[in-house]
A and B are shown apart, each in its own frame.
Chain A
Amino acid sequence: MNPFPVPPRRVTIIALLALLALLLAPFAVPPYQTVLLSYGLVFAIAALGFNLLLGYTGLLSFGHSAYFGVGAYAVAFIVKYLGIESMEVFILGGVLASAVVAALFGFLCVRYTRIFFGILTLALSQVLWSLTYKFFWYTGGSDGLRVPTPHLVAGAVRMARGAAEDKLGFLSHRYYYYVLVLFVLCVAVMWVIVHSPFGKALQAIRDNETRAEFVGVQVWRYRWVAFLISGAFTGLAGALWVPLNGLTTPDIMHWTFSGEIVFFTVLGGFQTFFGPVIGAIVFNYLKTFAVGYTVYWQMFLGVVLVVLVLVLPSGIVGTANRLALRLRRAPAT
C-alpha cells in the first residue's frame, strides 16, 4: 500500500495554490496580517489534531484546551526554570508534556463515548485550569508567564538584538515561515495517519463500534492512541502559539477555549480533511475582526455558530464540496 496516498487532482491543485499563496504572503501583505495568519496556522494544527477525534473517531472532546495549554505552559516552564530559549527545545518539551497528559487523560476518557466523554474531558481540563489559576507562585496565576522570542533552528536563526529588527518583523517573517513549515509537516503527517490502516480502523469505530470490534479492532486501544496523537498535535500548536503571544495565561486552559476549538472545526466542516484547517484560519480572522469591531464579539460569534448549525451543518468545506458537485452535475446548457 502506498504510504502517502495521493489526493484527488482537484484537491492537490487547490492545496498547492494555497501553499503558494501562503509562501508569498509575507511579501504581499503588511506584517500584522502575516502574524494574524500565523495564529490561524497554529490554530489549524490544533484543529487537525482535534478532528482526528471528532471527525475520524467520532468523539467530541470539550477539553482540548488542556493539551494546548499544557504545550504552552511547558514552554513557559522551560524558559522560567531552565532558561532555555530555543524553539526546538520548546517544541520537544511542549509535545512531550502534552502527549503525557493526553495519554493519562485519554486512558481515563476513552472508556466513554458521547456526552460522558465530552463532560469527562471537560472536567479534567478544568482541573488543570484551576491548578494553573491557583498555583500562582509557579504559574503566575491570572497574570500568566512571559515567554521571550526564541531563536530558531538550533540558534541559526535569531532575532537581531537592538534596534536592527523589531519583534513584529521577526514574527511576521522568519517565525511565520517556521510555523508554515511545521504546519505543512503536520498536514502531511495527519494525511498519512488518517489514510493508514490505523486511520481506517478509527473510521470503522466511528461508523460502527460493534462491527469494528467483531472485525478484530481493539476499540479501546485505537481510541486511546487517537486521543494521544490528537493531544500531541494540539500541544504542538500550544508550543508554537506562546512565542507569538509572548505570554501564556490560564485563559487558554479554560473550557471556553475548548469550545472555540470545537467551533472552528465545525465551522470548516469536520467531515472533511481540510475543513478544520480552513475553519481555524477563518475563525481566527472572524474573531479578530469581531473583537476589533465591537465589544459584543461573543454575540457575533454566537450568532455565526447558531446559523452554522441550523443552516450549514457541513461547514465551509462541506458546503463548498456540495456546491462544486452540483455545478459539475448541472447539464451544460
Chain B
Amino acid sequence: MDTLLIHILNSLLYASVLFLIAGGLSLIYGVMRIVNMAHGNLYAFGAYTSAWAVGRVLGNAPSASPALYALLPVGAVAAAGLGALLEPTLLRPLYKRAEEYQLLITFGLLLILEDLMRLIWGPYPLSVSALYEGLGSLSIGESIYPTYNLVVIVVGGAAAAGLWAFVYRTQFGVVLRATSQNMRMASALGVNVNRVYVEAFTLGCFMAGLGGAIVVPQQGAVLGMGPDALILAFVVVVIGGLGSLEGALIGALMVGVVREFGITFFPEIELAVLYLMAAIVLLIRPAGLLGRA
C-alpha cells in the first residue's frame, strides 16, 4: 500500500513539472499557432538561472536558510523576460509565413539557447541539492519520502489552478481566449493582437521557467535537459490536444503515471511506450483527447 502511495506521489511529482512545461507550450500554440521547439530550453534556462542565483547567495554555507526558497522563482522571471525579448524580435516577422519557417526558427533558437547556457554556466551541471535536503523527509508508513517532492506537487497544482483562474476568470483571459479562437475577429474588435501575443508567449515561458526552477533542487541543471523535456512535452500536448490547457493537465497526469510505472515494471520500453501513446492518440483523435480540430 505504501509503495503504491509512493508511486502515485512520484507520478504526481512528474506530472506537475510536465504540466508546467507542456501547459506553456500548449498555451503558446493555442494563442499563436506556433510550435515552439525552443520551449524546453526556456525550461532549462529557468533551471540554470535559479540554480545560479541560489548558488551565489548560498555560497559555501552548509545549510539552507528558508529565504533561499524564495529565490527559486528567479528562474521563472528570467525565462519570462527572455520570452518577452524573443517574441517581438524573432517570431513576429514570421507570422505571415509558412509554418515550416516558424518551426525552423524555433529550432535554430533551440540550438542557440543550448550553447548560450553552456557559454554562461559552463559544461558542468549546477546543483542546489541543499534546498532539496533542507526540507528533510516524511515517513509514509514504513518508507520515507522527501518533503521537497511534495512542495513540487503543491506548486504544480497551484500553477494549474492559478492558470485556470487566469484564463477563465480575468479580463485578460477573455482577450486571450478570443484571440485564440479567432485572431482576425479579435483584432477587428479592438484587441491589440501583437500585445496579446507577447503576453501569451511571456506567460508560456514563465511557466516553463517555473518548471525548471522548482525541479532544480531535486535534479540539478544539466545541458540537454531542454530538448529532452521538449519531446516529453510534445507527448503531453499531443495526448491532451495542442492548444488545450485541460488537455495538457490530463496528458501530464497520464504521462506521469505511465512513466512512473514504466520505470518500475517495464524499464526497457518505458520511453517507447510514451511515444507510442502519443502516436496512437494522434491516430485515433488527431486533435488530441481534448483538442479542437
Contact = CB atoms under 8 A, between A and B. Distances in A.
A311 to B, nearest CB: 10
B107 A305 contact: yes
Interface string A106-142: 0010011011101110111011001101110000000
Given A112-B282, A112-B286, A114-B99, A309 B108 contact: yes
Contacts of B282: 112, 116, 119-120, 123
Interface stretch (B13-21, B48-56, B149-157, B234-242): B234-242
Interface stretch (A4-12, A193-201, A256-264): A256-264
A166 to B, nearest CB: 34
B186 to A, nearest CB: 22
A210 interface: no
A298 interface: yes
Interface in B105-163: 105, 107-116, 118-119, 123
Nearest to A108: B283
Given A118-B103, A303-B112, A123 B235 contact: yes
Contacts of B115: 296-299, 302
A210 to B, nearest CB: 17
Contacts of B68: none
A269 B235 CA distance: 30
B118 A119 contact: no
A interface, size bucket: 35 or more
Contact of A123 (B118, B227, B275): B275
A180 B163 CA distance: 57
Interface in A260-275: 262-263, 266
B269 interface: yes
Contacts of A134: 267-272
Contacts of B242: 115
A302 B231 contact: no
B185 interface: no
A298 B112 contact: yes
A309 B112 contact: no
B107 A123 contact: no
A15 interface: no
Interface in B76-114: 90, 93-94, 97, 99-101, 103-105, 107-114
Interface in A56-107: 60, 62
B35 interface: yes
Nearest to A255: B231
Contacts of B114: 298-299, 302
B64 interface: no
B189 to A, nearest CB: 27
Contacts, number: 119
Interface class of chain B by DSSP = helix
Given A112-B286, A131-B269, A123 B279 contact: yes
Interface string A262-306: 110010000000000000000000000000000111110111111
B174 interface: no
A313 interface: yes
Contacts of B235: 123
Interface string A198-227: 000000000000000000000000000000
Contact of A299 (B116, B267, B275, B276): B116
Given A124-B275, A134-B268, A134-B269, A299 B111 contact: yes
Name the residue among A112, A135, A259 with the largest chain B CB count within 10 angstroms: A259
Nearest to A115: B35
A310 interface: yes
B257 interface: no
Interface string B185-227: 0000000000000000000000000000000000000000001
B112 to A, nearest CB: 4
B278 interface: yes
A302 B123 CA distance: 18
B259 to A, nearest CB: 12
Contact of B231 (A112, A118, A126, A306): A126
A310 B93 contact: yes
Nearest to B93: A310
Contacts of A131: 269, 272
A306 B94 contact: no
20 contacts: A115-B35, A115-B103, A116-B286, A119-B238, A119-B278, A120-B283, A122-B231, A122-B234, A123-B234, A123-B238, A123-B275, A124-B279, A127-B275, A134-B267, A134-B271, A134-B272, A135-B268, A299-B116, A301-B108, A309-B104
Interface of B: 35, 90, 93-94, 97, 99-101, 103-105, 107-116, 118-119, 123, 227, 231, 234-235, 238, 242, 267-272, 275-276, 278-279, 282-283, 286
Interface of A: 54, 60, 62, 108, 111-112, 114-116, 118-120, 122-124, 126-127, 130-131, 133-135, 255-256, 259, 262-263, 266, 295-299, 301-306, 309-310, 313
